[in-house]
């Protein structure tokens, strides 16, 4: 835990900058980095809605490039199941102990990081996978702001090329974010106090996103993935043992 208020402010700024620098470079991963690390110094019920808004704003600022490459027939089947997952998570926010939710998030983060490191072969799957993946994407995305991995797995299962995957992911993340933000407003997790906090968080995230969008990492994709996975394992472990 950061021991002083000034230390907490500095820590929050650094985490947001790094998280959105990664998003600017890769188009993915801001929530996976920001949420477990920010939850060490802020309540989960504050962190998740605000990071969802920052991700939503980032998607809007970046815009959806290659609109003609959006694979609508692939992403639309996800929508009803994502909505069910979101509604289930909104209920959980008001009925489950927040410490239990935080521990569950830590376990998910560690499992996903380990999955990233495994030498798994490329897999293909039918649209039937839209049901479980859409549900868990909506559920985990609403609870922990980290539903993106599920949608990326689904798009990879459907065999989309790199351009289609990036365009389709950005579009669906925008839709998914809209649903979650509306839900957070309805259950009272986004109000004037949270929006004031968002104004303090926004500059660090915006600078990271801007710089990330203008630079290319010198690390290979494989090394970059290992680095992020290690960071996720450490942050998940820290959440479980704090």
- For Cα atoms 148, 36, 116, give the angle at the middle one, nearest 5 degrees: 50
CA torsion, ordered 37, 16, 166, 152, to nearest 10 deg:
10
Domain residue limits at 195: 5-241
Task: Give yes or no for a contact between 169 and 117, defined as CB atoms under 8 angstroms apart.
Answer: no
Q: Residue 162: is its pLDDT beyond 80?
A: no
Q: What is the pLDDT of residue 2?
A: 46
What b-and-e string marks burial along 185-199, b requiring 16 or more CB atoms within 10 Å of the CB?
eeeebbeeebeebbe
pLDDT tens, residue by residue, 167-213: 888 888 889 999 999 999 999 999 999 999 999 999 999 999 889 87
Distance CA 144, CA 151 (A): 15
**The whole model's pTM is what?**
0.81
Rounded average pLDDT over 95-104:
81
Distance CA 78, CA 146 (A): 16
**83 band by pLDDT with thresholds 50, 70 and 90:** very high
- Report the number of distinct structural domains present in the chain: 1
Q: What is the pLDDT of residue 106?
A: 83
| 94 HSE (CA, 13 A, CB side) | 10
Q: What is the pLDDT of residue 107?
A: 86
Which carries the bigger pLDDT value, residue 127 or residue 27? 127
Q: What is the pLDDT of residue 62?
A: 61
Distance CA 34, CA 198 (A): 14
**240 band by pLDDT with thresholds 50, 70 and 90:** confident
Q: What is the pLDDT of residue 180?
A: 93
Range of weakest confidence among 63-72, 73-82, 148-157:
63-72
Task: Give yes or no for a contact between 78 and 130, defined as CB atoms under 8 angstroms apart.
Answer: yes
């Amino acid at each position: 835990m950061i021991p002083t208020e000034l230390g907490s402010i500095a820590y929050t700024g650094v985490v947001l900058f790094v998280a959105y620098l990664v998003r600017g470079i890769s188009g993915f991963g801001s929530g996976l980095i920001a949420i477990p690390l920010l939850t060490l110094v802020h309540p989960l019920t504050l962190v998740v809605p605000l990071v969802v808004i920052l991700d939503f704003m980032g998607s809007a600022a970046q815009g959806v490039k290659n609109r003609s490459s959006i694979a609508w027939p692939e992403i639309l089947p996800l929508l009803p199941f994502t909505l069910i997952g979101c509604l289930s998570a909104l209920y959980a926010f008001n009925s489950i102990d927040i410490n239990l939710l935080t521990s569950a998030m830590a376990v998910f983060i560690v499992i996903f990081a380990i999955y990233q490191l495994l030498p798994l072969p490329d897999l293909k799957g039918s649209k039937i996978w839209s049901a479980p993946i859409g549900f868990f994407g909506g559920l985990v995305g609403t609870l922990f702001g980290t539903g993106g991995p599920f949608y990326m797995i689904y798009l990879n299962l459907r065999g989309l090329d790199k351009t289609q995957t990036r365009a389709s992911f950005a579009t669906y993340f925008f839709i998914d974010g809209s649903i979650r933000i509306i839900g957070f407003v309805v259950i009272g997790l986004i109000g004037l106090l949270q929006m004031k906090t968002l104004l303090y968080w926004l500059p660090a995230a915006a600078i990271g996103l801007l710089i990330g969008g203008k630079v290319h990492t010198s690390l290979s994709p494989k090394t970059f993935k290992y680095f992020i996975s290690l960071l996720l394992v450490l942050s998940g472990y820290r959440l479980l043992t704090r």
